[in-house]
Copies of this chain bind each other. A is one copy, B any other.
Amino acid sequence: MTTPHSFDQALVLDTLAEGHYRGQTHPAYWNMVGPFGGITAATALRAILLHPRLLGEPLSLTVNYAGAPTTGPFTVDATPVRTNRSTQHWNVSIVQTGADGEPVVTTTATAVTAARRDTWSLADMPMPEVPRPDTLQPVPPVPGVEWFNRYDLRPVAGALPRQWNGQGDSSLTQLWMRNTPERVLDFCGLAALADVFFPRVWLRRAVHVPAGTVSITVYFHASAPQLQATGTGYVLGQARAQEFRNGFFDQTAQLWNEAGTMLATSHQIVYYKE
């Protein structure tokens, strides 16, 4: 008997009715005050992918973090609100039961899935030239951030500051990343990777302020066979901020596989304090 990968354990959803599931937060993907946002995004997507009326493959996913889930069970609802010939539009919500017995929405999401066809295609933002992952050192564990131990992260540029001295000068991070232990990439794994980047405000300022993602959008460029071909290889992630303003900054990110194929582009808006 093989134990499933912790990522797949965390994504287990029991079907209660069509599009209605029950899941459970997993300690392996715990962040400081709730689950790693990437596992929540993957959970929302998983609910769609399990749906018997699914059309096509993920094209876009927007996840809004309404409030940190608490440890324990949750329900997920995934509804195909419109199905066209080649695209399908989804609403998703993740709900827990509050202390007073009332439902508490922790997460909302929308997604589009699409049946794609071969067309003229072009990579308009090539992967930067960076050292290969086997020439770089993985970052050490961060005490108290459990999900961090589930990834092998090898920064090329813009690693977590070693000194919180207020001397930051760039918001750019480039890093190779993959699951540890290894796991073949799929859409849920890719959605989670899009949220691996630590808050840009930490890097840009070299000041460690409270921060958390409010909303993330992922555009999937890869097909299932391309993800399968990427396999357990590393993914190069690149992220930078564009604007920090009055408590929120945005982040724009790209993810390529080792062969240089753009797998996904992503954006998020992030709360920060002070």
Contact = CB atoms under 8 A, between A and B. Distances in A.
B272 A252 contact: no
B223 A250 contact: no
Secondary structure call for the A interface: strand
A246 B117 contact: yes
Contacts of A119: 246-247, 272-274
B265 A205 contact: no
Nearest to A115: B247
A237 to B, nearest CB: 14
A243 interface: yes
Interface in A38-85: 59-60, 62, 64, 66-67, 81-82, 84
Contacts of A125: 241-243
11 contacts: A87-B214, A109-B110, A112-B269, A114-B214, A114-B248, A120-B205, A121-B244, A217-B217, A245-B262, A250-B265, A265-B267
Closest 5 CB pairs of A and B: A66-B82, A125-B242, A66-B89, A62-B62, A116-B246
Given A81-B108, A82-B108, A217-B267, 11 more contacts: A60-B214, A64-B112, A66-B81, A89-B108, A119-B272, A120-B244, A121-B244, A221-B248, A223-B246, A242-B254, A245-B262
